[in-house]
């Protein structure tokens, strides 16, 4: 569904955003009736509180939104969205309480709070709309919100309607919207063009595996995004238990994330030469499925011993990263719902990432705060390289022992990313429960932080 601001309207309801500590000073500027109404309604300025003050005819005269305390806000991203969801129907304009930069973030949160996944069932819309004002960089905010909505829609769509062919169509639709070029290699053509790992992982599915390759822009630094597009993951012959398979429609969350980020970049006309690579497959069970113990060739020439067919994401990414590195772009970034170990380490809300570039890390972590998109750096720990070297082949796709699972996966990918600038994000892509501006379901992670850091990362 489209996310947008309400058009300018002189009748918009002024919205005053009040911290708990600011309530008394605001009271001092109001008449006795107003103070009595606010007090009677129990408004204290706590996070999530919302209150409309009526005029004599009963129509909203102004509205208040609780902004809590600094301690409370550290525990709540998009604080204003918590109150906006409780406001009655109407168009609102922020009148006081937020500085310029904070308004940008909270306005984005308001738009994200209005997201609804309504492909299969009509959903009740958010009643309160935010008016666009001159203080807001509306084009940027809308691009971020619609990019995030694209990511959410793709992840939320079940695999019946989001197979490799459907993911390809989503990429084609995005390319058409922004005038990008796209090429797709499908099925046995993957073997003919030397993408053996992508073909092997996806060959057991009814819907053919493919490599999606989208390009946009002809000036500026070169940036290649690589997203894991495993549209459903049964675990292959190392079959997942039912409880672990239930969320595997989201295993293409890396692909959804890079497409959302690509939209943000293209919609705002960033001066960058963008390439997006998505190996799109289903990891299925059939007589021709790859097996534990197989040793598979890769595009790079490295051989990989398969110790677990459920560690397939790093395999398809390996061929795509090899292709990415062949052009020596200024920056390669991979995003993938890759390991359960990352969730154990940092939980569902943080996006762990790997980079050896201190400047990249510094830029990203500043932007993560600015964009309310938290990330956490994990190490490419070189001493663990031995854990992914099985002896019988060049690499092991699933080292035994269970230690450092996210790190060993990242080290595996780094073997294929060349010698240039490379960063990897091991995201979750799922919001397990409702939170302000983040409904339960698919969610983008790390993409807004990357967008915000782009100029500093690419040194433009």
Q: Is residue 28 part of a domain?
A: yes
**Angle at Cα 395 formed by Cα 392 and Cα 399, nearest 5°?**
95
Q: Which residues are catalytic?
A: 240, 314
Q: Is residue 8 part of a domain?
A: no
Cα of 302 vs its chain's centroid, Å? 31
Same-domain pairing of 53 and 156: no
- Residue 401: pLDDT band (50, 70, 90) is confident
Q: Is residue 137 part of a domain?
A: no
Residue 59: the pLDDT is: 87
Same-domain pairing of 346 and 381: yes
Place of tokens 């979750």: 428
Residue 15: the pLDDT is: 96
Q: Over 60: is that where the pLDDT of 356 sits?
A: yes
Q: Over 90: is that where the pLDDT of 326 sits?
A: yes
Same-domain pairing of 73 and 212: no
Instruction: Give the orientation angle of helix 138-156 with respect to helix 447-458, to 10 degrees.
Output: 130
* Cβ partners under 8 Å of residue 301, min gap 6: none
Where in 24-165 does DSSP place strands (E)? Answer: 50-54, 60-66, 90-96, 128-130
Q: Over 90: is that where the pLDDT of 23 sits?
A: yes
**Domain hosting residue 87, numbered range:** 13-132
- Of the listed ranges 70-74, 155-159, 309-313, 425-429, the one predicted with least confidence: 70-74
Q: Over 60: is that where the pLDDT of 1 sits?
A: no
CA-to-CA distance for 249 and 226, rounded, in angstroms? 19
Same-domain pairing of 238 and 125: no
CATH code, domain with 81: 3.40.220.10
Place of tokens 């310029």: 100
- Residue 2: pLDDT band (50, 70, 90) is low
CA-to-CA distance for 442 and 154, rounded, in angstroms? 8
Q: Tens of pLDDT along 429-443?
A: 999 999 999 999 999
Q: Over 60: is that where the pLDDT of 42 sits?
A: yes
pLDDT, averaged across the chain:
96
Element (H or E) spanning 225, and its range?
strand 222-227
Q: Is residue 5 part of a domain?
A: no
Cα of 357 vs its chain's centroid, Å? 22
DSSP letter (8 states) at residue 364: H
Q: Tens of pLDDT along 203-246?
A: 999 999 999 999 999 999 999 999 999 999 999 999 999 999 99
Which of 80, 111, 132 is the C-terminal boundary of a domain?
132
Domains contained in the chain, number:
2
Cα of 32 vs its chain's centroid, Å? 48
């Amino acid at each position: 569904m489209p996310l947008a601001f309400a058009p300018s309207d002189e009748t918009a309801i002024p919205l005053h955003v009040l911290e708990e500590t600011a309530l008394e000073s605001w009271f001092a500027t109001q008449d006795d009736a107003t103070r009595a109404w606010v007090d009677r309604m129990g408004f204290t300025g706590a996070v999530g509180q919302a209150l409309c003050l009526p005029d004599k005819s009963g129509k909203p005269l102004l509205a208040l939104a609780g902004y809590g305390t600094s301690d409370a806000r550290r525990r709540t991203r998009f604080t204003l969205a918590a109150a906006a969801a409780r406001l009655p129907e109407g168009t609102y304009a922020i009148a006081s309480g937020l500085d310029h930069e904070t308004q940008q973030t909270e306005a984005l949160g308001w738009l994200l709070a209005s997201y609804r996944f309504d492909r299969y069932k009509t959903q009740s819309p958010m009643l309160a709309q935010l008016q666009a004002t001159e203080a807001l960089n509306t084009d940027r905010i809308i691009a971020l919100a619609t990019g995030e909505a694209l990511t959410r829609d793709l992840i939320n769509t079940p695999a019946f309607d989001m197979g490799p062919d459907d993911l390809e169509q989503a990429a084609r639709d995005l390319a058409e919207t922004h005038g990008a070029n796209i090429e797709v290699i499908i099925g046995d053509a993957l073997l003919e063009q030397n993408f053996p790992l992508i073909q092997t992982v996806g060959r057991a599915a009814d819907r053919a595996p493919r490599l999606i390759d989208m390009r946009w822009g002809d000036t500026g630094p070169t940036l290649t995004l690589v997203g894991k597009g495993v549209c459903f993951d049964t675990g292959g012959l190392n079959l997942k238990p039912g409880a672990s398979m239930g969320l595997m429609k989201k295993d293409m969350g890396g692909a959804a994330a890079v497409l959302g980020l690509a939209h943000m970049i293209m919609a705002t006309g960033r001066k960058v030469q963008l390439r997006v690579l998505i190996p799109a497959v289903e990891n299925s069970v059939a007589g021709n499925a790859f097996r534990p113990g197989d040793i598979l060739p890769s595009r790079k020439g490295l051989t990989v011993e398969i110790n677990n067919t459920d560690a397939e994401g790093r395999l398809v990414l390996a061929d795509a990263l090899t292709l990415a590195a062949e052009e020596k772009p200024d920056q390669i970034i991979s995003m993938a719902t890759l390991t359960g170990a990352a969730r154990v380490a940092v939980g569902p809300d943080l996006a762990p990432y790997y980079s050896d570039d201190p400047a990249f890390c510094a830029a990203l972590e500043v932007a993560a705060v600015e964009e309310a998109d938290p990330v956490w750096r994990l190490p490419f720990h070189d001493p663990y390289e031995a854990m992914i070297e099985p002896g019988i082949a060049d690499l092991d796709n699933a080292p035994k022992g269970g230690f450092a699972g996210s790190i060993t996966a990242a080290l595996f990918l780094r073997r294929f990313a060349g010698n240039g600038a490379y960063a990897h994000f091991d995201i979750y892509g799922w919001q397990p429960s409702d939170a302000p501006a983040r409904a339960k379901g698919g969610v983008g992670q790390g993409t807004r932080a990357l967008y915000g850091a782009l100029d500093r990362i690419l040194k433009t």
